[in-house]
Structure 1
Amino acid sequence: MFKIILFVGLVFGVSYADKIDDLKNSCDKGEAKTCRDLAYMYEEGRGKVYKNKYKAIKFYKEACDKNDATACNRLGVIYRDGINVKKSYFRAKKYFDKACDLGNNMGCIWERKIQKNKIKDILDSK
């Protein structure tokens, strides 16, 4: 019985590693959504991937660079709230602006809130 369980574990473990490699290859080829999916997996530690804040941010940035509005918005939240990075309203506004330009309504809402409040970090960072 132990051998069967070990065999099944090895087969599914290898196939999952292949799936991660497929996602990374797809991201490298320009698929923004797969970059965002990888970012989420690393941010939350989902799908047999250990949490890794640096990889999460890296993949969110790749997705945003490829014009994924949701990824840009998430980066805005990360910098606005200082999630695993130094809080920066200037960077948050930059990512919210891009998310808004790409049609993400939450990006528009947060960009306006930051602009309306004229948060000091934005003015000091120019």
Structure 2
Amino acid sequence: MAYDLKQEEDVKEYIENLGVEYRFGCYKEKKPEVCHLLGDYLEAIKKDFDKAAKVFKSNCLDYKFGKSCLKIGNYCLVGRGKDKSDPNEALTYFEKGCELGEPTACLHAGMLLTATGPNVTIQRDIPKGYNYLKKSCDQNDSMACHYLSGMYISGVPKNVAEFNPHNPAKNKSIDYLIKPDMKQAFEFAKKACECGNMYGCANVSMMYKKGDGVEKNEAESKRYFQIATELQKAQETTKELKFQQGLDK
């Protein structure tokens, strides 16, 4: 059937039929990809977060679909479809999604395990968190690479309370789980930039300018600054989220 999407009634019918197709593909044909789309549909079109959460959770656990593990993990983290936020439950789903090959799930697991602060409720585990971040970066997740670069720029102290960002000389005497290493920081920043992270490109530009972790090179500094600027402009024109983006690569 042809729809005239300029007509309101046709749009409504199209949307309803889309939901029917997704339900059939998920519940009858048992296709994980379609179940994920059904979750997206319930979330974005119907605004029924409780049902969307159930679909994402089932698709993660029963059909082992990594993107749905990421989704239900995010729901748990912000408390969507639940009474309140549950970071520990979120971590379980992120770890599951990472095991199933979803790089953003690896990123979120790594960030939760390495986070610090007064509101953090998850036991800090830098080695485990680092491995998740590295796995995500290896799969070209730009934010994971950028995050790893930052860890090497400042280092990761064993006791966070001992670290003083305003006193670098004092920080040299404290114990680190990951010691500051500008060469490693540069490599991860460069990888982040290559994967499209504008902050990574900006850091590479600054490192070339100062000679931090790499030999000074004014021409390369300018080149990476230009790349960062172009990425920033591109980001400003693509802020709207696309429906079905959960299946984009």
Same-fold call, TM > 0.5?
yes
Deviation per residue, 1:5-52 (Å, 9 max, x gap): xxxxxxxxxx86554332222112121111111011111011345322
CA drift at 1:122:
4.3
Q: 1:109 to 1:19 in 2, by over 3 A?
A: closer
Check if 1:22 corresponds to 2:55. yes
Q: Which structure would you say has the larger RCO, counting Cα contacts within 8 Å and 6 or more residues apart?
A: 1
CA drift at 1:63:
0.7
Match of 2:177 in 1: 121
Q: In structure 2, which of residues 52, 57, 68 is the aligned counterpart of residue 34 of structure 1?
A: 68
Match of 2:144 in 1: 107
CA drift at 1:79:
1.6
User: What is the root-mean-square deviation of aligned Cα atoms in Å?
Assistant: 2.3
Unaligned runs of 5+ residues in structure 1 are 1-14
CA drift at 1:86:
2.2
Q: Could you tell me the TM-score, scaled by structure 2's length?
A: 0.39
Q: 1:30 to 1:49 in 2, by over 3 A?
A: farther
Q: Could you tell me the TM-score, scaled by structure 1's length?
A: 0.71
CA drift at 1:112:
3.0
**What are the within-5 Å matches in structure 2 for residues 1-126 of structure 1?**
18-28=51-61, 29-82=63-116, 83-115=120-152, 117-119=154-156, 120-122=176-178
- Secondary structure of 1:121 counterpart: strand
Give the AA of the match of 2:133.
Answer: F
CA drift at 1:115:
4.0
What is the number of residues matched between the two proteins?
109
Give the AA of the match of 2:69.
Answer: C
Match of 2:232 in 1: none
Q: 1:70 to 1:79 in 2, by over 3 A?
A: same
Give the AA of the match of 2:144.
Answer: G
Give the AA of the match of 1:55.
Answer: E
Deviation per residue, 1:36-94 (Å, 9 max, x gap): 11011111011345322221111111111111111111112112214321223222211
- Asked whether the equivalents of residues 78 and 84 of structure 1 are also in contact (C-alpha less than 8 Å), the reply is no
- Asked whether the equivalents of residues 76 and 82 of structure 2 are also in contact (C-alpha less than 8 Å), the reply is no
CA drift at 1:121:
2.1
What is the rounded CA distance, in whole Å, between the counterparts of 1:81 and 1:20 in structure 2? Answer: 25
- Larger CA Rg, structure 1 vs 2: 2
Q: 1:46 to 1:16 in 2, by over 3 A?
A: closer
Give the AA of the match of 2:92.
Answer: K
Percent identity over the alignment is 19
Tell me whether 15-24 or 45-54 shows the greater mean CA deviation. 15-24
